[in-house]
Structure 1
Amino acid sequence: MKRRIGKIGLVIVAIIWGTGFVVTALALENYTPYQILAIRFTVAFVVLLLVNLKKLRLLSLKTLGRGSLLGTVLFLAYAFQTIGLQYTTASKNAFLTAVNVIIVPFLSYLILKNKLPLKNFVGSFVTLIGIGLLSLTGTMGGFNLGDGLTLICAVFFALQIFVTDLFVAEEETWALMLLQMGAAALLSWLTLFISGETSINYQPVNLLPVFYLGLASTLLAYFLQTVSQKYTTSSEAAIILSTEAFFGMLGSVILLGEKVSMNMLMGGLFIFIGVLIVELDFGRSKKI
């Protein structure tokens, strides 16, 4: 039962992140990518700090180190994604970021020597094909600097899922979340000062989309991810979370009026099939 609840939680996270693409598009009209990161992580951190003020004395140095590591990995994932986007197309950036769905099970296999069902690897590849159909249009062109940076970003997103899976069994969710968001916020503000992007528009109407990203796409989504991963494996989490590409497409069609193409339909179908491959019991699944 808990395993099922964990998977439902991850689906909710994928929906929040997917529809968050639309809100991000609105936020980018008034803020730079790094400004959005700084504000969204800060909003999440401040809310967590206020809610858990009385618990701060319970934090240990070990928890501080683990939470800070998660926050650093999360920041680096978003940073490399942002930098990569400056040198490649948005569709390639989205597709290559989603390569993390393939990386996570290999991290588990290589680092922890965990033998995973073959269906997890097959489901990951099928899901990746679906994400490619959703994200890529026309010719991909040659491999460039932006593509390489985005692949590094995919590695860090995979590490965030993998490391979260390592820590959630021993740490309190609120502690990991608080320290993760705090570290990511601190690094984001340092980046803003280094890049000279400290002039921020604080008009409430412009801040609304960024606050939504901070409260929903960051605070709520990463809280649900952390809790849900207590009851699922990292490879399962990666595949379920990758459905954000489908929900992002759905949100763009419904909210932004984008036209539905055959690529979108086929991409959504492949993602659905990839998730089914992982979720269905095929008897004794072969492990590798």
Structure 2
Amino acid sequence: MQTARDPAMMLQTKATAILLLSTVMWGGSFLFNKIGLREIPPVQFFFFRFALAALLMGGLCLPRLRRLDLTTVKRGALVGVALTLVNLTFVFGVSGTSISRAGYLNNLFVLIIPLLSFTLWRERVDRLTFAGILLALVGVWALASGGNGGFNRGDLVSTVCALFIAIHILTVSRVLRDEDLYLVTLVQFATVALAGGLLCLALPWPRFTVGATSVWAVVYCAVFPTVVAFTLQNAYQRYVNPTKAGLIYTLDPVWSMFSGMLFLDERLTPREGFGCLLILAAVAGPLLGRLVGQKRRSVYLFDKANGEV
């Protein structure tokens, strides 16, 4: 006999599976960016990706365009500026370091968010997060000292990218209200594409040739980690506990590391691997601790409501 909770539980399970799939797409974006950047310069790759993503998202949003108003455009453009900074630093970071290192450094955004929240709004940083920050610093040190080139420019840009990811997430949470998520996403993509186009016009256009592999790399990055992953996350993240969603997203660098090892023959030194493991523990540890705490509180409140405590 089905219970009333079955549909909700099934929806949560489906949402969890879809968010896991989105992390695979995001992890793959590191690989395909790296492949595409072999032929296409970073700014041009950045522009091509989001110009195509904006066109595809525009096609998906055709039935909704009549509801596009000035407020949505303004708020979407503001969030789009943050998304521009995320993806511009992403391509330069990936172009300058291994995708394994870039993935773990990008994931530091989980720890940067509470630091920014404390700095801007004096929101308390709990002990688990503070411990995670300290552990992440040790992990970054191990990562920096473990490679032949030390902490290079690509590593630095990838760390700055983590800062911009945190700013983008906070901007979304503070700026967006009840707008149509699909239209907001379209405006974001269009803003990024416009910024990329302006950069291409402002900077000297380098000479390069584009082969079939690079074209497919642009298509993959525009379709899967951009249009598809954004749409799925907007549609299904609401059905998953925020802490659980954050924990799922910590898998992004794991996929990027595996794809780097399998397809690009990237290898981490033991110290680099230890540093990546520390960063993953620093990011996932506080999230896992909160998830366990939330479950314990739920069990306690359930028992209390039934007179068992």
Question: Normalising to structure 1: TM-score of the pair?
Answer: 0.77
In structure 1, C-alpha distance between the alignment counterparts of 2:32 and 2:155, rounded to whole Å: 24
Shift of 1:220: 1.6
Distance change in 2, residues 1:145/1:197 (3 Å): same
Unaligned runs of 5+ in 1: none
In structure 2, C-alpha distance between the alignment counterparts of 1:240 and 1:224, rounded to whole Å: 14
Aligned to 2:146: 137
Shift of 1:269: 4.9
For the Cα contact (< 8 Å) 1:127–1:274, is it kept in 2? yes
Distance change in 2, residues 1:118/1:274 (3 Å): same
For the Cα contact (< 8 Å) 2:132–2:281, is it kept in 1? no
Aligned to 2:109: 100
Unaligned runs of 5+ in 2: 1-8, 298-309
Shift of 1:241: 2.9
In structure 2, C-alpha distance between the alignment counterparts of 1:77 and 1:176, rounded to whole Å: 17
Aligned to 2:64: 55
In structure 2, C-alpha distance between the alignment counterparts of 1:201 and 1:118, rounded to whole Å: 52
Shift of 1:119: 3.4
Q: Aligned pair count?
A: 283
RMSD (Å) for aligned C-alpha atoms: 3.9
**Paired-residue identity, %:** 25
Question: Normalising to structure 2: TM-score of the pair?
Answer: 0.72
Higher mean displacement: 40-49 or 128-137:
128-137
Q: Of 208, 214, 220, which aligns to 2:216? A: 208
For the Cα contact (< 8 Å) 1:18–1:245, is it kept in 2? yes
Aligned to 1:246: 254
What letter is aligned with 1:37? F
Q: Of 20, 26, 30, which aligns to 1:21? A: 30
More helix by share: 2
Shift of 1:199: 6.1
Larger-Rg structure:
2
Q: Deviations over 1:63-116 (max 9, x none)?
A: 111111121111122324455678x75577665544322211223344455556
Distance change in 2, residues 1:70/1:59 (3 Å): same
For the Cα contact (< 8 Å) 2:51–2:190, is it kept in 1? yes
Aligned to 1:196: 204
What letter is aligned with 2:181? T
In structure 2, C-alpha distance between the alignment counterparts of 1:276 and 1:43, rounded to whole Å: 37
